[in-house]
Amino acid sequence: MNKEQLKEKIAGRYAGRCEILDHSPRRIYVTIDKKEARDVASFFFQELGARLSICTGLETSHNFEFLYHFSFDEIGLTVTVRAILGKANPEIESIKDIIPAAEWIEYENNELLGIDFIGNPRKRRFILAEDWPDGVYPLRKNGEEHNG
């Protein structure tokens, strides 16, 4: 499989429902609907044999984004799958039963950014201190106002 074939496979699976950006020789960005997240996980990890490098959660001025960075080591390619989440109630389905490595990644994003992962509720503190206030998420852009 080479880069072009991979792009075709992705475009075929999510025909009309994804946007593919060929950023540079080793980087592709794919934007999908967040409802496809679990399908993306099984398609990339189980069918295409990609490795989940890490996920990035981030807040922009309009919304939240959750990015899955998949690494195709054999062809030296990093494919980032982007799901856009709502500003008011950011949530997305968990993929931890499909990719076990995602369990802690989801805990981390839940705790630091307040994204809810349906099917992977965090039972206790994972990164922040035990006495950190509930509902305050340090990586959010309005985090500063809670610092005082």
| Residue from 105, 97, 102 nearest 127 by CA | 105
Residue 137, token pair as written in the block: 């998420």
Q: What is the C-alpha separation between 25 and 126, in angstroms, rounded?
A: 36
Tell me the window of 8-16, 26-34, 36-44, 84-92 that interacts with another protein (CB under 8 A): 26-34
Q: By CB under 8 A, is residue 138 in contact with another protein?
A: yes
**CB-nearer residue toward another protein: 35 or 126:** 126
Q: By CB under 8 A, is residue 54 in contact with another protein?
A: yes
Tell me the window of 8-16, 31-39, 83-91, 95-103 that interacts with another protein (CB under 8 A): 95-103
Q: What is the C-alpha separation between 35 and 12, in angstroms, rounded?
A: 17
**CB-nearer residue toward another protein: 124 or 134:** 124
Beta carbons within 8 Å of 133's beta carbon, 6+ residues apart: 146
Q: By CB under 8 A, is residue 27 in contact with another protein?
A: yes
Q: What is the amino acid identity at position 98?
A: I
**CB-nearer residue toward another protein: 12 or 123:** 123
Are the C-beta atoms of residues 7 and 28 closer than 8 Å to each other? yes
Q: What is the x/- site pattern for another protein, positions 61-90, by CB under 8 A?
A: ------x-x-x-xx-xxx-x----------
Q: What is the C-alpha separation between 52 and 72, in angstroms, rounded?
A: 9
Q: What 8-state DSSP symbol labels residue 133? A: P
Tell me the window of 5-13, 36-44, 85-93, 99-107 that interacts with another protein (CB under 8 A): 99-107
**CB-nearer residue toward another protein: 15 or 61:** 61
